[in-house]
Amino acid sequence: MALEVLKVGVVSCSGEAIPGGTVSRIACRKVLDERPGETVTICLPLFIAGGKEERDFAGKYPTITVDGCEKRCAQRSTERLSGKPSKSLLVPEILKKHGIDPPTSLRNLRPEEKAATQVVAEEIARAVDEILEG
Amino acid sequence: MSGKANKVVVLPCSGIGKVYGAIARETTYELMERVRPGVVVTICLPLLVIEDPDAKQLVTDNPVITIDGCPKSCAQKSVEAQGVKPARTYQAIGFYKAHKELKPGGIAELDENGRNLAALAADELAQIVDELAAGGQE
């Protein structure tokens, strides 16, 4: 009997120093707010600063990592400290696929840059659906 | 390091679940872009989680201020995990306790109170940044 997946973990890179991190952070927050019963998150540094419960995150929930740059901190940290993510998304790849220029603002995204957060949020939501539908 | 620092690394909480994480981040941006540009720098906190060598070098070579959004103190602990003691550690809720007229709201994007609180906190941290940049009180 297959186990029913009730919630999907979403882990944002959150990168404070790069615009892709801001896009990741805002897009993840949007999905978490719009799908409160189906998604859950964890602050990435808790894999180091937290305890066993935090490090069990990817074992407890099928997890989507969302990274803002090629260093892939969210994916690599989750793999190394918690468990293998079910899906790993990369903001620059998503934006390229949709023909959207990468934002250049670290904060206070301009209106035209907010389109980037919307397409990334939609991609995360699609990944959530795929996992929930099995 | 003492006596020769001229950059100060400010590391905020990476949280996307609480308003005080957003306050920590906004305070860092205020310091970096408005209050002490060219002196205050930041890095993505998760780079320390993956033990990025450049990130580790930056926090080893310069005084570090951490600003955390909750008592789990991820920013402080992530620096300490590199064998580095932060020069100063703050909890963002402390900024609110000092200015209760500015109750912040919003997480992905702060409301006006939140932005004003972060700006005020950055102004108040400027003196500490100057002392650390001059190589003192580490």
CA–CA separation, B80 and B71 (whole Å): 15
The answer to the question of residue B14 being in a domain is: yes
Q: At B61, which amino acid appears?
A: D
Q: How many distinct structural domains can be found in chain B? A: 1
Residues of A with Cβ-Cβ distance to B114 under 8 angstroms: none
Which of A25, A45, A68 is opposite residue B49, by nearest beta carbon?
A45
How high is the ipTM of this complex?
A: 0.89
Residue B138: inside a domain, yes or no?
A: no
Neighbours of B7 (CB within 10 A): 14
Enumerate residues 35 to 64 of chain B having a beta carbon within 8 A of any beta carbon in chain A. 42-50, 52
The CATH number linked to B118 is 3.40.50
Q: How confident is the model at residue B88 (pLDDT cuts 50, 70, 90)?
A: very high
Q: Identify the three-state secondary structure at position B33.
A: helix
- Provide the shortest C-alpha distance from residue B101 to chain A (in Å): 24
B chain contacts of residue A48, beta-carbon cutoff 8 Å: 48-49, 74, 77-78, 81
- Report residue A108 as tokens: 């206070």
**Which residues form the domain of B124?**
8-130
Q: Do A71 and B50 touch (CB under 8 A)?
A: yes
Task: Quote the minimal CA–CA distance from B83 to chain A in Å.
Answer: 13
Give residue B79's region: left, alpha or beta (phi > 0; psi -120 to 50): alpha
pLDDT in tens, B11-44: 999 888 889 999 999 999 999 999 999 999 999 9
B96 found inside a domain: yes
Q: Which residues contact residue A70 at a Cβ distance below 8 angstroms, ignoring those fewer than 6 apart?
A: A90, A92
CA A98 to chain B, closest CA, distance in angstroms equals 23
Lowest mean pLDDT among A2-6, A89-93, B91-95: A2-6
How much is the pTM? 0.92
Q: Tell me, what's the pLDDT at A49?
A: 87
B1 within some domain: no
Task: Assess B34–A contact: CB distance below 8 Å, yes or no.
Answer: no
Tell me whether residue B110 is in a domain.
yes
